[in-house]
């Protein structure tokens, strides 16, 4: 995890915030995959996409603070992009993004 390389004196509190955000994302994904109501599933997956974008913002801030290297940030970006891409496709398949 990228927070493993953060300094011990994380004065901004980014490490616990990012870990909490990642745990919440995992929880929403888990709940979304077991629900039988498609509208609830869509809502959970859309929430996950928003939370992933927030996590990317926090990772970007961490890199600007020199808490992690650009390559760490690139790894986070790639992972988040992959998950968002797959969630986009899944939400479309279950009828999401309707007007």
Q: Distance (Å, rounded) from C-alpha 12 to C-alpha 70? A: 19
Q: What is the pLDDT of residue 98?
A: 60
Model confidence over 4-23: pLDDT tens digits?
Answer: 888 888 888 888 999 899 88
- Nearest partner of 49 among 16, 92, 12, 19, judged by Cα: 92
Q: Flag whether pLDDT at 99 surpasses 60.
A: no
User: What's phi and psi for 35, nearest 5 deg?
Assistant: -75, 145
Q: Flag whether pLDDT at 39 surpasses 70.
A: yes
Q: Distance (Å, rounded) from C-alpha 42 to C-alpha 63? A: 32
Domain ranges across the chain:
14-93
Q: What is the pTM of this model?
A: 0.79
Helix/strand/coil percentages in the chain, nearest 5: 75, 0, 25
Q: What is the pLDDT of residue 58?
A: 92
User: Minimum mean pLDDT among 26-30, 33-37, 52-56: which range?
Assistant: 33-37
Q: Flag whether pLDDT at 89 surpasses 80.
A: yes
Q: What is the pLDDT of residue 78?
A: 92
Q: What is the mean pLDDT of the chain?
A: 84
């Amino acid at each position: 995890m990228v927070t493993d390389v953060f300094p011990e004196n994380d004065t901004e509190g980014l490490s616990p915030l990012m870990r909490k955000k990642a745990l919440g994302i995992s929880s929403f994904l888990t709940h979304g995959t077991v629900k039988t109501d498609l509208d609830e599933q869509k809502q959970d997956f859309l929430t996950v996409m928003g939370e992933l974008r927030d996590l990317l913002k926090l990772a970007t801030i961490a890199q600007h603070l020199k808490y992690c290297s650009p390559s760490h940030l690139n790894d986070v970006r790639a992972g988040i992009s992959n998950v968002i891409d797959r969630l986009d496709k899944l939400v479309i398949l279950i009828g999401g993004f309707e007007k």
